[in-house]
A = this chain, B = another copy of it.
Amino acid sequence: MRDLSGGLEWLSLNWATVRQQWDLRQAIEGCARHGIPGIAPWREPLQVLGLAEAARLIRDHGLAVSGLCRAGMFPAADAAGRQAAIDEVRRATDEAAAIEAQCLVVVAGGMPAGSKDLALARQQVRDGLAAILPHARAAGVPLALEPLHPMYAADRCCISTLAQANDLCAELDPEGAGGLGVAIDVYHVFWDPELAREIARAGAASRILAFHVCDWLVPTRHLLLDRGMMGDGVIDLRRIRGLVEAAGYAGLIEVEIFSTDWWRRDPDEVLRIISGRYHTTV
């Protein structure tokens, strides 16, 4: 395993961690000020700042972009809706290319309103990924399919396990030509009894494109907005990082915390605490 106790060499900040305090410019400047070498923008603040200006700022501050969040949401009630989703992912891919993001984070989407057919939604995700994959390859931006926790299966992401994501990658990219892989976020997968096997499988196929950390609080008071700072919850972060690194991942470690608690804190303090936990806990 890599030694994180020294510098911040592999740390990246997901903008959403400070989304209530900072716009993207402030987050870029904040990372630079704190010596955090990576950032992961979201599309909305990126569009506000402007692609060219964001690319310039990121470059001028010497930051790497661990990923662009996010696109996907493939399932829709009709063909026009599904095509619109694919078109949106295409635009997101181009945005990711413009800021030299190492991947585009893909969140599959849930069931369309009124549907109870998870299997159909999963099929639509597969079809949508198949449709966009050639463009992603041409743009040089790999798609990082992120399984989300099963508590989001209905309305956000019907890809609930790393096994499902790996299966999709194997189906859509059987030759390992690239352009498609997985994002592994400890929050979504720590519970999975098959986690070690599936991390190894993703790594053997060179498909681990991103690694996200935060923590699972006990109790968790809200399904979306109560993630914990690394070390404040029950996830064995070092074990999972060990699995990911043993599988060959040597990239950035991205901190993504959706939390009404942390959004109320001074953002410079948040970055100081993240940096400390990176050394001691991740």
Q: How many copies of the polypeptide does the oligomer hold?
A: 2
A interface residues, Cβ below 8 angstroms from B: 110-111, 115-118, 122, 149-151, 153-155, 160-161, 163-164, 190-193, 216, 218-221, 223, 233-236, 239
For A190, the chain B residues whose CB sits under 8 A away are 118, 153
* Docked pose: A117 CA to B151 CA in angstroms: 21
| Chain B CB within 10 Å, residue with most, of A116, A117, A235 | A116
- Measured CB to CB, the nearest residue on chain B to A239 is B116
Shortest CB distance A167–B (Å): 9
A193:B161 contact, CB within 8 angstroms:
yes
Q: Contact between B151 and A234 (Cβ–Cβ < 8 Å)?
A: no
A152's closest neighbor in chain B, by CB? B191
Q: Are B191 and A160 in contact (CB under 8 A)?
A: yes
| A193: chain B residues within 8 A (beta carbon) | 122, 160-161, 163-164
Bound-state CA distance A43–B164 (Å) is 38
A234, B193: Cα distance in complex, Å: 26
Q: Specify the chain B residue showing the minimal Cβ separation from A215.
A: B116
The answer to whether B234 touches A154, judged by C-beta atoms less than 8 angstroms apart, is: yes
Chain B CB within 10 Å, residue with most, of A150, A161, A235 = A150
- A151 — nearest CB in chain B belongs to which residue? B151
Q: Closest chain B residue to A235 by CB distance?
A: B116
Inter-chain contact A118/B191, CB cutoff 8 Å: yes
Give CA–CA (A149, B163) in the complex, Å: 17
Q: Do residues A155 and B116 form an inter-chain contact, with CB atoms below 8 A?
A: no
Residues of chain B contacted by A221 (CB below 8 angstroms): 223
Shortest CB distance A195–B (Å): 9
**In whole angstroms, what is the CA distance A161 to B194 when docked?**
10
Whether the Cβ atoms of A153 and B191 lie closer than 8 Å is yes
Please judge, given known A-B contacts A150-B150, A219-B155, whether A234 and B191 are in contact too, CB under 8 Å: no
B191 & A155 in contact (Cβ 8 Å cutoff): no
User: Are A216 and B154 in contact (CB-based, < 8 A)?
Assistant: yes
Query: How far does the Cβ of A114 sit from chain B's closest Cβ, in whole Å?
Result: 9
Q: Across the interface, which residues of B come within 8 angstroms of A115, CB to CB?
A: 234
Q: Which residues of B contact A155 (CB under 8 A)?
A: 218-219, 234
Name the B residues within 8 Å of A116 (CB-CB). 234-236, 239
CB nearest neighbor in B for A114: B234
Tell whether A191 pairs with B122 under 8 Å between CB atoms, given A111-B234, A116-B235, A117-B236.
Answer: no
